Amino acid sequence: MSIFLKIFGMSIDNIPLFFVSLFFLVLLFLLVVVQFIGKTYKEFAWLGNVILIPLALIDLQLMLLGIAGDKYFYEIHLGFLTVLWIAGLKLVIQALDLFWWSTSFVKLTGEESPRLLRGLTTAILVVFTIYGITNFVFGKSIGNLLIPTGIVAGIIGLSLQSMFSNLFSSLAIAVEKPYQIGDWIEVKEGIIGKVVDITWRTTRLLSWNNSIYVIPNSVATSSIVHNFDLPEKKYALWFQVWIDCKINPEFVQRILVNACLETPKVLQDPPPRIYISEVGRPMKYTVYIYFEDFNAQWGGKTSLMSEIQRRLAKHGISPAMTEMHIAKSDMPQIQINEPGISEYLKGIDIFKTLNIEDIHLLSEGSRLRVFEAGETIISEGDHGDSLFALISGSVVVIKNDGDFEIEVAQLRAGSEFGEMSLLTGEKRSATVKAITDTTVVEVSKDSMSPLLKKKPRLSTEFTKKMVQRKASTQKTLDEAVHETQAEISKILNKIYSFFNLDGDSESTRDTNVTRRLKPSDVAKRNTTKIYKNKEDREQEDENKNGES
């Protein structure tokens, strides 16, 4: 301070108190303004504090010296240096928070800085500040102030053993990160909970009954910790279902996999898997599924169990436990409603207009096929003459685009694919792979040929259904009408050629009628009229009523 006074040509006796006090008030006002601005611009506020706080402390010291005089110079000077060290500590902590913990640390690690690590860093800075004040301000050595005896050291060591153990355990948790806030974990003795806080001494878990487990960090680091959220959030679960051994295992697997696919909380990536885990009375099936995270399993499993029970009951199947059977000649047999190929084909969209006789004729040459998850059912560009009706499981449709594969769609039970190859013999237009274990009904050309020769008009119905799917995506009505007519004629010609149908048949006559229709007639037949407003629709309804 004496150096500062010499620079400005002043002494303690002639300090201009009025100007010093006025300048101090100005600095205080600026500090208040900076704090207000700091609510929005924190970096600017920190820089302002770095400049204004030391100036305010120096000015305050000058003002106190001017009031008290030379008598209290030493005490005021020591107080000034002590406060300056403390202010420096505050500014360093703020700088770390602004420029390291909240920004650079997050960019380097990809996650928020642990509160424990920040607290330990602050503690180290506080210890360093105390050392600086003691050593440099008051000129006292820490070693001289803390000369412990052997007994005192032993007492302190024993009393702080647990605390230091937890402290170093917390450091290990911060570095290794076996768990972090938000994770679901299980520690010894079946303690399960969600991590809500990690301090330098304890880890706190929120339990299922909305209470808190307080676990010392030394216990957490010395125990086996099961983290349900590592290495990723997706949580796998498996459970067993017991079904009577007399029921076809493939049929049971189809029911179980479809139940999994229809439960919203069960993930399809990775796909659900169904295993036969034990052969006996009854058969034991293992359902292996994934949920979004550990917590999602509870509601998801309940929904899945309900869906499994509903589907089993639909076919007259009840889950069974281990039983002892006494065989008798007149014992009634279990009646299971296992659908045949005909039942499956009736549920496929393209065949819904067929009657029972047509379905039976179509099913005679069709067959069930089973594909494992990941197996390719058809490949783009291959020759084929069959359609596949999806009975259970799910598949993905993939198109090749040069060196890339594009996922076009995912299909589930009730869908079909390959109809163009069945009806025209064209090459496969896409690759289809099984996502889960999948069962399909394959309808080949040999199965379809007797039906089309018996009822040639069905070729027109099948063609219209295929073309209508494309027409529904057209931008304008005129485009849809003209392209639909052209597409129907083009596909029908291919069907006649592929199945050797008679060109003068009933099917051809029906097509000629369609060709003679005007675009407006086709639009009225196959589309819904769109009105500009409610009044136009009411006016047309009145006209129709008047005509009738």
Asked if 291 and 237 touch (Cβ cutoff 8 Å), the reply is yes
The Cα 21–Cα 32 span in angstroms is 17
- Residue 408: its pLDDT value, please? 84
* Same-domain check for residues 14 and 64: yes
Asked if 520 and 469 touch (Cβ cutoff 8 Å), the reply is no
How many C-beta atoms surround the C-beta of residue 81 within 10 A?
18
User: Structurally, how many domains does the chain consist of?
Assistant: 5
* Same-domain check for residues 164 and 121: no
How many C-beta atoms surround the C-beta of residue 62 within 10 A?
26
The answer to whether position 291 is within a domain reads yes
Two structure tokens written together for 136 = 């440099």
* Same-domain check for residues 116 and 161: no
Phi, psi for 203 (deg, rounded to 5): -115, 130
* Same-domain check for residues 17 and 133: yes
- Residue 361: its pLDDT value, please? 85
* Same-domain check for residues 212 and 299: no
Coil, strand or helix: which one is 312? helix
* Same-domain check for residues 299 and 390: no
The answer to whether position 200 is within a domain reads yes
The Cα 406–Cα 397 span in angstroms is 9
Sequence-separated contacts (24+) of 324-328 with Cβ below 8 Å: 325/281
For 398-411, b/e burial (b = at least 16 CB within 10 A) is: beeeeeeeeeeeeb
How many C-beta atoms surround the C-beta of residue 82 within 10 A?
15
Domain final position from 314, 329, 353? 314
Domain final position from 208, 227, 246? 227
The CATH number of residue 362's host domain is 2.60.120.10
Asked if 175 and 116 touch (Cβ cutoff 8 Å), the reply is no
Q: Which of 382, 355, 369, 373 is nearest to 454 (CA)?
A: 355
Element (H, E) at 75: helix 73-96
For the chain, list residues with pLDDT below 50: 7, 149, 329, 472-483, 504-534, 537, 544-548
- Residue 14: its pLDDT value, please? 58
* Same-domain check for residues 346 and 437: yes
Instruction: Name, in order, each residue with C-beta under 8 angstroms of 359's C-beta and a sequence gap of 6 or more.
Output: 342, 345, 346, 351
DSSP 331: P
Greatest Cα-to-Cα distance within the chain, rounded to the nearest angstrom: 127
Asked if 385 and 400 touch (Cβ cutoff 8 Å), the reply is no
Coil, strand or helix: which one is 317? coil
- Residue 171: its pLDDT value, please? 75
The CATH number of residue 271's host domain is 3.30.70.100
The answer to whether position 538 is within a domain reads no
Domain final position from 413, 436, 454? 454
* Same-domain check for residues 378 and 430: yes
Q: Which of 342, 356, 358, 357 is nearest to 441 (CA)?
A: 342
**Sheet holding 438-444: strands in order across?**
367-371, 438-444, 386-392, 416-417
The CATH number of residue 179's host domain is 2.30.30.60
* Same-domain check for residues 356 and 436: yes
**Sheet holding 431-434: strands in order across?**
376-378, 431-434, 394-401, 404-412
Please give, one letter per residue, the 3-state secondary structure of 274-291: EEEEECCCCEEEEEEEEE
CA distances from 327 to 33, 332, 469, 535 (A): 94, 10, 56, 75
The answer to whether position 250 is within a domain reads yes
* Same-domain check for residues 13 and 140: yes
The answer to whether position 536 is within a domain reads no
The answer to whether position 534 is within a domain reads no
Instruction: Name, in order, each residue with C-beta under 8 angstroms of 259's C-beta and a sequence gap of 6 or more.
Output: 304, 307, 308, 310, 311
Rg (CA), the chain: 41
DSSP 301: H
User: Please, what is the Cα angle at 481 between 472 and 423, to 5 degrees?
Assistant: 70
DSSP 194: E
* Same-domain check for residues 33 and 71: yes
Strands 202-206 and 386-392: unpaired
Phi, psi for 267 (deg, rounded to 5): -75, 150
The answer to whether position 478 is within a domain reads yes
The model's pLDDT over 222-237, given as tens digits with 9 standing for 90+, comes to 889 999 999 999 999 9
* Same-domain check for residues 127 and 12: yes
Residue-number span of the structural domain to which 467 is assigned = 457-526
Tokens 């076919």 -> residue: 315
The answer to whether position 540 is within a domain reads no
The Cα 95–Cα 108 span in angstroms is 17
